[in-house]
């Protein structure tokens, strides 16, 4: 396929991605992935021949369709387009791109906008799946800017989008234990929508507030983290995770700015400039449940919001656990999103040959 494809480019939270209606893409998954690689400019570390932003956080795709589930409005499939390899992965979802799904669905006419705000029930098709309820202000309201909010990691305000994740009480600790030891390091493996391995900074010889650049430049650290990740991935039931983007790794330490905990998150090889949405929910669960490697952080009451600090600010997560304190009832966060461009994108021709540049 080398015809143009209808596409909307959106910022979703602290990420950026290409949004498509499922019906605008090939129905065969292999064909679809091939087109997406050619649209984003992969494999190429600069993605210079495509619309990808040359970083995992800006090489993302959302595929949206009317839901086939009677209790949901739309289905959302997230695809990570690997920057420098010809890989498109559906192994994880993305809570940041999720923030753009409701406005996109309204713009494309899949959901009718209500007068004040619109509630969109979204079925997440990746991984363990699940449901999210997004509440967005009607698009017209965004011209007034009153009530706009800031989210850390985005320098401009925009209308708030509430994302709520009702929980059916699935396993939050996929290894069946609150702590494990992998590659001689104590960890807690948490999955509240995003599988994350929590590790105390001190156990890695770190302070915990190093910059993403410093952490990425530390080859010995990266090698040790990958050994931990490979062992944790198996124990979490993912098998060999060498080529997959989950689990992520969050290095945790005491808060620096009055929040609950400091984080630095490998996603899983680059360091996040902030933190993922569901990644933050998983960290919050690690804090809220006693006896994990993150329980040194300020504990929480039922219903309390936890402030997860990250390299560019903080991320508030509202958590509601049941009476046992070990099962999640719901979580909620506030994000913003913005339509950046709507039009037709041209994939590079299928026959284009990758060569060495002269």
Instruction: Compare residues 193 and 254 and give the one whose CB is closer to ligand NQM.
Output: 193
Q: Minimum distance between the CB of residue 278 and ligand NQM, rounded to whole angstroms? A: 3
Closer by beta carbon to ligand NQM, 113 or else 274? 274
Which CB sits closer to ligand NQM, 94 or 113? 94
Q: Nearer Cβ to ligand NQM, position 35 or 163? A: 163
Cβ closer to ligand NQM: 165 or 173? 165
The CB-of-73 to ligand NQM minimum distance in angstroms stands at 20
- In the complex, the smallest distance separating the C-beta of residue 79 from ligand NQM, rounded to whole angstroms, is 12
Pairing of strands 74-81, 337-345: unpaired
Shortest distance, position 153 Cβ to ligand NQM, whole Å = 9
CB nearest ligand NQM: which residue? 276
Tokens 């702590």 correspond to 179
Residue 72 or 194: the one with the smaller Cβ distance to ligand NQM is: 194
Report d(CA 121, CA 74) in Å as an integer.
Answer: 7
Strand partners, 341: 9
The number of beta carbons lying within 10 Å of the beta carbon of residue 33 is: 20
CA 119 to chain centre: 21
Binding site for ligand NQM (CB under 6 A): 14-15, 56-57, 94-96, 194, 245, 248, 267, 276-279
Count other Cβ atoms within 10 Å, centred on residue 217: 11
Please tell me the distance from the alpha carbon of residue 352 to that of residue 313, in angstroms, as a whole number: 42
Residue closer to ligand NQM, measured from CB, 74 or 194: 194
Nearer to ligand NQM, 113 or 267 (CB): 267
Q: How far is the CB of 229 from ligand NQM (least distance, A)?
A: 13
203 vs 322: CA distance, rounded Å: 31
Minimum Å distance from CB 151 to ligand NQM? 11
Question: Do the bridges between strand 248-253 and strand 195-200 make them parallel or antiparallel, or are there none, so unpaired?
Answer: parallel
Between 49 and 164, CB nearer to ligand NQM: 164
- Report, in Å, the least distance between residue 353 CB and ligand NQM: 31
Q: Which is nearer to ligand NQM, 121 or 272 (CB)?
A: 272
Q: Which of 285, 302, 303 is nearest to 294 (CA)?
A: 285
For the bound state, the minimum distance from the C-beta of residue 96 to ligand NQM, rounded and expressed in Å, comes to: 3
Least distance CB 321 / ligand NQM (angstroms): 19
How many beta carbons lie within 10 A of that of residue 277, not counting itself?
29
End-to-end CA distance of the chain: give it in Å, rounded: 28
CB of 89 to ligand NQM, least distance (A): 10
């Amino acid at each position: 396929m080398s015809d143009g494809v209808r596409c909307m480019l959106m910022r979703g939270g602290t990420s950026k991605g290409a949004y498509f209606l499922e019906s605008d893409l090939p129905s065969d998954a292999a064909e679809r992935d091939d087109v997406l690689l050619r649209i984003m400019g992969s494999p190429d570390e600069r993605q210079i021949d495509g619309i990808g932003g040359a970083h995992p956080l800006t090489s993302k795709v959302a595929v949206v369709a009317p839901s086939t589930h009677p209790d949901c409005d739309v289905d959302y499939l997230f695809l990570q387009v690997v920057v420098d390899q010809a890989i498109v992965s559906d192994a994880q979802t993305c809570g940041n791109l999720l923030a753009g799904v409701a406005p996109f669905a309204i713009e494309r006419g899949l959901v009718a906008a209500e007068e004040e705000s619109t509630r969109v029930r979204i079925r997440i098709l990746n991984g363990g799946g699940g449901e999210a309820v997004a509440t967005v202000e009607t698009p017209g309201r965004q011209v007034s800017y009153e009530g706009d909010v800031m989210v850390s990691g985005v320098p401009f305000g925009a209308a708030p989008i509430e994302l709520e994740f009702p929980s059916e009480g699935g396993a939050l600790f996929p290894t069946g234990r609150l702590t494990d030891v992998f590659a001689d390091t104590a960890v807690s493996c948490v999955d509240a929508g995003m599988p994350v391995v929590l590790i105390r900074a001190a156990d890695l010889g770190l302070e915990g507030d190093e910059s993403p650049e410093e952490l990425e430049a530390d080859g010995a650290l990266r090698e040790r983290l990958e050994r931990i990740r490979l062992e944790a991935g198996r124990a979490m039931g993912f098998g060999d995770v060498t080529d997959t983007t989950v689990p992520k790794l969050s290095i945790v330490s005491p808060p620096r700015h009055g929040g609950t905990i400091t984080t630095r998150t490998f996603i899983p090889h680059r360091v996040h400039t902030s933190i993922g949405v569901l990644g933050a929910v998983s960290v919050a669960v690690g804090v809220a449940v006693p006896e994990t490697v993150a329980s040194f952080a300020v504990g929480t009451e039922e219903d309390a919001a936890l402030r997860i600090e990250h390299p560019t600010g903080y991320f508030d997560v509202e958590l509601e656990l049941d009476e046992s304190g070990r099962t999640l009832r719901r979580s909620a966060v506030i994000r913003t999103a913005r339509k950046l461009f709507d039009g037709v994108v041209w994939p590079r021709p299928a026959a284009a040959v990758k060569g060495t540049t002269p």
